[in-house]
């Protein structure tokens, strides 16, 4: 029984970032044409420090930072290229679980979901219908 031996060649400086940047540009084109979002899982790619530096430098820093506390902690940063978001999700112990670049108008996790709004509205109505000790 032969197992597949994973081969991880030592990456040369910035071996993968240039292709990623081309993928991002293509994904922005698709977003503009069709509204379709695209997600690049950085955890699944062998990124050298030089790759990360090139990505960071080329994409730059945007105006928005978000923190989301739900099943751990998510940090979402807009890059300097509008529509490209750097998303990190960590466990409650602060261990990085996933890291991705999302190409979209707004990361999927941010907008309030219709079902959640309906549930929240029902709860709000219950709270404000009984302001002191009675209500109608």
Q: How far is Cα 6 from Cα 8, in angstroms, rounded to an integer? A: 6
Query: Binding to its own copies by residue 97, rule CB under 8 A?
Result: no
| Half-sphere exposure at residue 56, Cβ-oriented, CA atoms within 13 angstroms | 7
Contact map string, positions 16 to 35, toward its own copies, x by CB under 8 A: --x--xx-xx--xx-xx---
CB of 40 to its own copies, least distance (A): 14
**DSSP state at residue 42:** G
Q: Which long-range contacts (CB under 8 A, 24 or more apart) does 1-8 make?
A: 8/46
Can you give the binding site for its own copies, defined by CB under 8 A? 18, 21-22, 24-25, 28-29, 31-32, 58-59, 63-70, 78, 80-84, 104-106, 110-114, 116-121, 123-125, 127-128, 131
């Amino acid at each position: 029984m032969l197992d597949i031996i994973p081969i991880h060649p030592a990456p040369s400086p910035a071996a993968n970032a240039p292709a990623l940047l081309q993928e991002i540009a293509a994904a922005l084109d698709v977003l503009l044409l069709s509204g379709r979002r695209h997600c690049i899982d950085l955890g699944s790619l062998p990124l050298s420090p030089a790759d990360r530096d090139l990505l960071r430098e080329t994409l730059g820093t945007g105006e928005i930072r978000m923190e989301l506390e739900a099943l751990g902690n998510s940090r979402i940063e807009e890059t300097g290229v509008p529509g490209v978001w750097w998303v990190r999700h960590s466990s409650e112990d602060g261990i990085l679980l996933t890291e991705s670049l999302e190409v979209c108008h707004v990361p999927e996790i941010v907008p309030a979901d219709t079902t959640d709004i309906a549930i929240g509205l029902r709860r709000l109505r219950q709270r404000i219908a009984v302001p002191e000790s009675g209500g109608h």
